[in-house]
């Protein structure tokens, strides 16, 4: 019985080490570090065609340094720029201490009656690597 308990303990420890040490997908966390005691939590959004769409960022803690900013860009999904939304190749948003802020993306409209489509807002580090992703679902008012 002792051998089984040791084997299970070793297996559990190995599994835990794999989970902790393996890198997580960019969108798994849903948050972006903005300092040693700060995290910006990104939210998904649902928007209608022909409107400005607001993607919320909730900042927990105090961003590192004054004037902390977070870089972002849009990426095509089933919704494709420029027909479905106005692409943002690169932009920055200021992060408030312990509050929330919104970035805005214009969702275009077209004559086609469509089901829901989606595109992504990717949050980037200084080297352009994706840290987190928000999904923006675009709804066609004619379909509802």
Q: What is the pLDDT of residues 25-74, one digit of tens each?
A: 333 336 787 777 888 899 999 999 999 999 998 888 888 766 688 899 99
CA 72/CA 91 separation, integer angstroms: 5
Give the CB-side neighbour count of residue 17, counting CA atoms within 13 A.
6
CA 41/CA 100 separation, integer angstroms: 9
In this model, does residue 20 exceed pLDDT 60?
A: no
CA 133 → CA 59, 87, 138, distances in Å?
A: 15, 15, 16
Ranges of H-type helices in the chain: 2-21
Q: What pLDDT score was predicted for residue 30?
A: 67
Asked if residues 98 and 61 have their Cβ atoms less than 8 Å apart, the reply is: yes
Q: What pLDDT score was predicted for residue 53?
A: 93
Whole-model pTM: value is: 0.73
């Amino acid at each position: 019985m002792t051998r089984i308990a040791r084997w299970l303990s070793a297996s559990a420890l190995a599994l835990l080490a794999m989970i902790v040490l393996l890198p997580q997908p960019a969108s798994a966390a849903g948050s972006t570090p903005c300092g040693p005691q700060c995290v910006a939590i990104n939210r998904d959004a649902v928007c209608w065609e022909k409107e400005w769409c607001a993607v919320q960022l909730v900042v927990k803690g105090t961003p590192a340094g004054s004037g902390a900013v977070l870089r972002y860009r849009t990426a095509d999904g089933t919704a494709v720029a420029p027909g479905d939304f106005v692409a943002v190749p690169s932009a920055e948003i200021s992060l408030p201490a312990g509050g929330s802020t919104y970035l805005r993306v214009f969702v275009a409209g077209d004559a086609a009656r469509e089901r829901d489509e989606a595109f992504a807002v990717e949050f980037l580090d200084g080297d352009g690597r994706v840290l987190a992703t928000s999904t923006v679902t675009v709804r066609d008012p004619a379909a509802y």
